[in-house]
Amino acid sequence: MGMAPVAHVLFNRFMNFNPKNPDWLNRDRFVLSNGHGCMLLYALLHLYGYALTIDDLKAFRRVDSITPGHPEAHDTPGVEVTTGPLGQGISNAVGLAIAQAHTAAVFNKPGYDLVDNYTYCFMGDGCLMEGVSGEACSLAGHLQLGNLIAIWDDNRITIDGDTNQAFTEDVLKRYEAYGWHIVTVLDGDHDLDKIADAIQKAKEVTDKPTLIQLKTTIGFGSKKQGTHDVHGSPLKADDIKQLKEKFGFNPEESFAVPQEVYDLCHKTSAKGAAKEEEWNQLFAKYAEEFKAEHDDLVRRQKGDLAEGWEKHLPVYTPSDPAVASRKLSETVLNKIFEAVPELVGGSADLTGSNLTRWKGAIDFQPPATGLGTYSGRYIRFGVREHGMGAIMNGMAAYGTLIPYGGTFLNFVSYAAGAVRLSALSRVRAIWVATHDSIGLGEDGPTHQPIETLAHFRALPNCMVWRPADGNETSAAYYVALTSKHTPSILALSRQNLPQLEGSTIEKAIKGGYVLHEVEGADITLISTGSEVCIAIDAVKELKEKHNIKARVVSMPCMEVFDAQPKDYRLSVLPDGIPSMSIEVMSTMGWEKYSHEQFGLNRFGASGAYLDVYKKFEFTPEGIAKRAIATVDFWKDVPNIRSPINRAFQQLI
């Protein structure tokens, strides 16, 4: 209730939007960073004519409603990004602002300001406390994003009570140090003109994002206004009654909206529809003069890739040299960057290690800095993994870009909250996660991921790729780029990997395939990434020294493999033969595909990577030893069933 006055001013006096077309490219974006105020957002969407009815509002937080407990972009028309966890929304807003600035720099021409929208964000004290917001807002200040206006609901209340218990810093000085423009409104409960003046002043500052400190009263009008008792708790009946009477409503009516309110809101929406029609006419004229750019922008908004882009993916043969998969990733980026112009991203201060920058790339930077331009496609995210992830979600939500971000696989865990929202939001964001195992060597256990893949493989609607060679790396990029509604994590090696006999892009895009087949096999070895080539070497060890026949399955992406038809999955992991997984990570999750698991359920060790692999027996001999034990254990078991053949098998 405390933010209702500013919402009224913002939506009626400033924002451009058309509820009849929530996807209009040049609409102003509105982000509710503090998801606890989502009923205010739903009410606004209803009043202005989005596809939300009174019954939808009554169904708030009910199963299968389009008004969930926190805003979800794929559920509710008019919701731009999925928020709720504090700090994520403002960070998404930074991503939306970056995407707008880049899209404008690429497509706007003299006389054709196609893309000039603003991103507005409501944020609370909790958002300001979360570290992710500081990461994102620091970068926003550096990038001079004058198209971003954040409105701070400064009501001095959190769930525990008054902010004086834990949050007494000078927020304005902090944001001023970030490079933001600062405006204060002392009476956000009543002074609509001052609110409007503050927003107008923010729009006039084009080289800085703006933070508007709006002093409000939480639960404004309630008997318990100004206290934490109204934070997330429903008002009692007598309080609701006096509140309605105070504001001139019939206390006996519920969900009743005066017609004059609808009329006012619909008048604003009609102005937005007229603005879109003007824009459509401008865009049609643009098409006559800049047809290629017009067609490219239309294609991007559909989420489609340019025809034939996949022909640029590199293909390898066993005669090609061994190369680290992080280097193979760099090769893919160099090959496709012109064919996929919407691919925009960077690294969290690990460019030289992640190899995420293609030759000739221009940095995305404010032109005034001399470091790049807004049309540049390489973003220096700085040491801000969590902020990078949340920013990528906003960039993806804008609708014209495919974002990617690089860091070490172990440090994707810093960004777990943002990755989770990528999956929930169904956005196409790509993590280039290098240094993927104990194979990174001397940096030791602090940097060696053990549980990371199990964590993200457990996340619904998230593809985790761990390619074993060049063709599998190309396949990972192919599926990541063509999956419009799913984020991807590409786990890539530091050490060199050989190009494997039997690997192809066509096979690898199924997520798992038979790399080495042998008639009358005694065991199936299943592996990923850098362990696949060791499994191949173990085949020779088993055959020559122990007369055991082994077949090898490469499983670069479990989630994609799970989506294949059951007949195909059983052809890869058939009945009648025991299987053993091999991966230098936690074994958690592998029981879904193998009878036995060889992994690393402890932290790693410092040392040269070959020495570390040898220490933990990830060698042909170590694999062979465990394969022999598996064959011996299962040899007397009749009718061995594949782990695929279970009565109840959860699939993505």
pLDDT grade for 198, boundaries at 50, 70 and 90? very high
pLDDT grade for 36, boundaries at 50, 70 and 90? low
Instruction: Kindly state the average pLDDT of the residues 398-404.
Output: 98
pLDDT exceeds 70 at position 183: yes
Instruction: Kindly state the average pLDDT of the residues 392-398.
Output: 98
- Helices 38-47, 4-13: crossing angle, 10 deg rounding: 40
pLDDT exceeds 60 at position 259: yes
Q: Which of 133-137, 148-152, 637-641 has the lowest mean pLDDT?
A: 637-641
Instruction: Kindly state the average pLDDT of the residues 605-621.
Output: 97
* C-alpha torsion angle, residues 415, 420, 425, 426 (rounded to 10): 100
pLDDT grade for 13, boundaries at 50, 70 and 90? very high
Do residues 270 and 21 make contact, with C-beta atoms less than 8 angstroms apart? no
Residue ranges at the known binding site for thiamine diphosphate: 36, 84-86, 126, 155, 231, 411
Do residues 491 and 431 make contact, with C-beta atoms less than 8 angstroms apart? no
pLDDT exceeds 90 at position 494: yes
pLDDT value, residue 647: 61
What number of other Cβ atoms are within 10 A of residue 438's Cβ? 26
Q: Please give the span between the terminal C-alpha atoms of the chain, in angstroms, as a whole number.
A: 40
Query: What's the mean pLDDT when you consider all of the chain?
Result: 96
pLDDT value, residue 646: 79
Q: What is the 3-state secondary structure (H, E, C) of 361-381?
A: CCEECCHHHCCCECCCCEEEC
Do residues 45 and 321 make contact, with C-beta atoms less than 8 angstroms apart? no
pLDDT value, residue 176: 98
pLDDT value, residue 302: 98
CA–CA dist 508, 512 (Å, integer): 6
What residues have CB less than 8 Å from 559, skipping those under 6 apart?
457, 462, 463, 464, 511, 652
Instruction: Kindly state the average pLDDT of the residues 509-518.
Output: 98
CA–CA dist 307, 405 (Å, integer): 24
pLDDT exceeds 90 at position 356: yes
pLDDT grade for 37, boundaries at 50, 70 and 90? confident
Return the exposure string of 408-437: e unless at least 16 CB atoms fall within 10 Å of the residue's CB, then b. Answer: bbbbbbbbbbbbbbbbbbbbbbbbbbbbbb
What number of other Cβ atoms are within 10 A of residue 42's Cβ? 24
What amino acid positions are annotated as catalytic residues? 385
pLDDT exceeds 50 at position 643: yes
Nearest to 195 by CA among 181, 209, 213: 213
pLDDT exceeds 70 at position 650: no
Share of the chain above pLDDT 70, in %: 99
Do residues 578 and 591 make contact, with C-beta atoms less than 8 angstroms apart? no
pLDDT exceeds 80 at position 126: yes
- Residue 83 exposed, middle or buried by CB count within 10 Å (0-12, 13-18, 19+): buried
Q: What 3-state DSSP class applies to 490?
A: strand
CA–CA dist 322, 399 (Å, integer): 38
pLDDT (tens digit per residue) in 536-564: 999 999 999 999 999 999 999 999 999 99
465 beta partners: 490
Q: What 3-state DSSP class applies to 114?
A: coil
Instruction: Kindly state the average pLDDT of the residues 131-153.
Output: 98
Instruction: Kindly state the average pLDDT of the residues 91-112.
Output: 98
pLDDT exceeds 80 at position 34: no
Residue ranges at the known binding site for Mg(2+): 125, 155, 157
DSSP alpha helices (H): ranges in 48-112? 54-58, 88-107
Residue ranges at the known binding site for substrate: 231, 326, 353, 435, 443, 447, 494
Instruction: Kindly state the average pLDDT of the residues 489-506.
Output: 98
pLDDT exceeds 60 at position 472: yes
The dihedral through the CA atoms of 76, 82, 83, 84 has a sign that is: positive
